[in-house]
Amino acid sequence: MKKNRAIEIISTFSAKEVKQFEEFLNSPFLNKNRKVVQLFDILKESHPNYDISDANLFGRIFGNASYRKSYLRNLFSDLNILVEEFLLSLHVTSKSDKSKFVIEELISRGLYDLVLKKMKILERNAGRHIMKDQEYYANMIFISDTKDLMNTDRSLSDRHTSISIKRKICLSLLNLMESYFQFALEEQRIKISHDFGFLKLSLAYINSRLNEFKGEPLLMIYYHLWSVYFGDGTVAEFVKARKIFNNHFMNLSNFDRKNIYSAMQTVCLKRIDANEESYRKMLSDILLELLSRSVTSHKKNLIDLNLYRNVLISIYKLKDTKRLKKFIDNYAGSVKQESRNDINTYSEAHLSFLEGNFQMSLELCNKVNFNRFFMSTNENLYFKNDVRMLALKALYELSHFEMLLNHTDTYRHFLRNSKVMKDAQKLKSLKCIEFTKSLARLKSSFDDYESHRLLENLKQEMDVSEKEWLLEKGKELRHKYSNK
């Protein structure tokens, strides 16, 4: 069977949701088309794969009638409409918005006494919402606005209170700061630039009224993180944001936990790019904490590939062999099934390099099949760059100078042809290639003056990948030949 929109959605249903949808379809108020019920009764037999043919499906529904594709197409169109209505009913139920819709309908009918009773229940439930997140502010704003609307209707005067305005400001600021982190994350991954001007004005507004916002924990977490991101805040302010987060962790939704962890990673990477190495250890700790708390993927027990890479590279950069091995053992089997073999190869290549087994590392680099990582070339870009960089270093360590020169040519070609990699990242990698080639020439034919000049240039260079490794190799050469 060729999949359509209805089938795509239904295939994601849990066993409980299949049962709920069946009950939904059998409600005469919601669905009067019995052929659609019959269609779903047949489909659910092969849930979630739906390997029944169209001809077989048509015969079971329409009997001996001549096969007409348009009949099935119309039935599936009706099924799709009902599937979307079912999703809407699930959304309303799960978000506890039903009471708001009922209140709005009661107001439109002028039933104010019933509205007041419903409002008391909603206000009591909203007050139990410990974390002041978007749902909390949305509920409290609805309550304030509904009260104001009723007062306006009765007295012909608008009585918006300062509390209501404050809640609207908090909700706007929270949505703004949370959403802008998606821009920051995108800027780090690909070649794109966003305007953060309005966000900076908003942060200045919060800063000018800091005492007013100190009782808004979620808002303050984002405020402190943004201050650090833009370089205005210090490590102490980052620690403060993390402390507020940990103090309120149990009251946060899983959605907010994921967003905050993502924001903290983005901030750490921004400061690391600004050569603030103290954030590298914090990044590693945050990522491992995220995994230990199971704040990982939208799919149960699976780790997003980018998250896996971020953790592995952060530990690798710290040269923590023991921690890296433990991470691989614990989590390499938690990425999506089709990528596990290559992720394991990619991981072991980095581990072998740290262990000093450069030949094994090089061999493993050549075995990684990037096409099985992601569907698009853009997504596996940084995995490719990692492996090319690792192979470059391994070739140097092994003194395979001819192979190294060939590799640098293909590596440069890869970098220059990338349409999405940031120019700054390209430049850092290109500089690393040139410094590695210079080191290889010195390793092959040492020159004291040239080695001294190379080290001095490296020390002055702020924007080069693998600077620590390059300095280490340069010092090794000088130490080796100065003792001869």
124 confidence band (pLDDT: 50, 70, 90): confident
Residue 148 · residue 160 · CB < 8 Å: yes
152 confidence band (pLDDT: 50, 70, 90): low
Residue 216 · residue 255 · CB < 8 Å: no
Residue 257 has pLDDT above 90, yes or no: yes
Instruction: Give 397-445 pLDDT, tens digit per residue.
Output: 999 999 999 999 999 999 998 887 888 889 999 999 999 999 999 999 9
Residue 156 has pLDDT above 50, yes or no: no
Mean pLDDT of 341-368: 96
CA gap 346, 309 in Å, rounded: 10
Give me the pLDDT at residue 379, please.
Answer: 57
Q: Residue 100: what residue type?
A: K
Burial class of 468 by CB neighbour count within 10 A (0 to 12, 13 to 18, 19+) = exposed
Taking the CA atoms of residue 127, residue 131, residue 132 and residue 133 in that order, the dihedral angle to the nearest 10 degrees is -120
Strands (E), 259-375: none
Reduce the DSSP state of residue 483 to 3 states and report it.
Answer: coil
- Using the structure block, give the residue that is written with the tokens 């962890």: 261
Contacts 24+ apart (CB under 8 A), 441-445: 442/474, 442/477, 443/396, 443/399, 443/401, 443/477, 444/399, 444/401
Q: What six digits make up the tokens of 367?
A: 């075995």
136 confidence band (pLDDT: 50, 70, 90): confident
Least confidently predicted of 80-84, 187-191, 248-252? 187-191
Least confidently predicted of 64-68, 148-152, 384-388, 399-403? 148-152
Residue 92 has pLDDT above 80, yes or no: no
Q: Average model confidence (pLDDT) for the chain?
A: 87
Helices 98-108 and 134-155: angle between axes, nearest 10 degrees: 10
Residue 373 has pLDDT above 80, yes or no: no
Query: Greater confidence, 343 or 134?
Result: 343
Phi, psi of 301 (to 5 degrees): 65, 10
For residue 176, what is the enclosing H or E element? helix 162-189
CA gap 283, 264 in Å, rounded: 8
Query: Greater confidence, 121 or 429?
Result: 429
Residue 153 has pLDDT above 60, yes or no: no
235 confidence band (pLDDT: 50, 70, 90): very high
Residue 146 has pLDDT above 50, yes or no: yes
Residue 86 · residue 36 · CB < 8 Å: no
Give me the pLDDT at residue 378, please.
Answer: 55
Give me the pLDDT at residue 155, please.
Answer: 47
Peptide bond into 48 cis (omega under 30): yes
Instruction: Give 210-227 pLDDT, tens digit per residue.
Output: 999 999 999 999 999 999
Convert 38-51 to b/e letters by CB count within 10 Å (16 or more is b): ebbeebbeeeeebe
CA gap 443, 477 in Å, rounded: 7
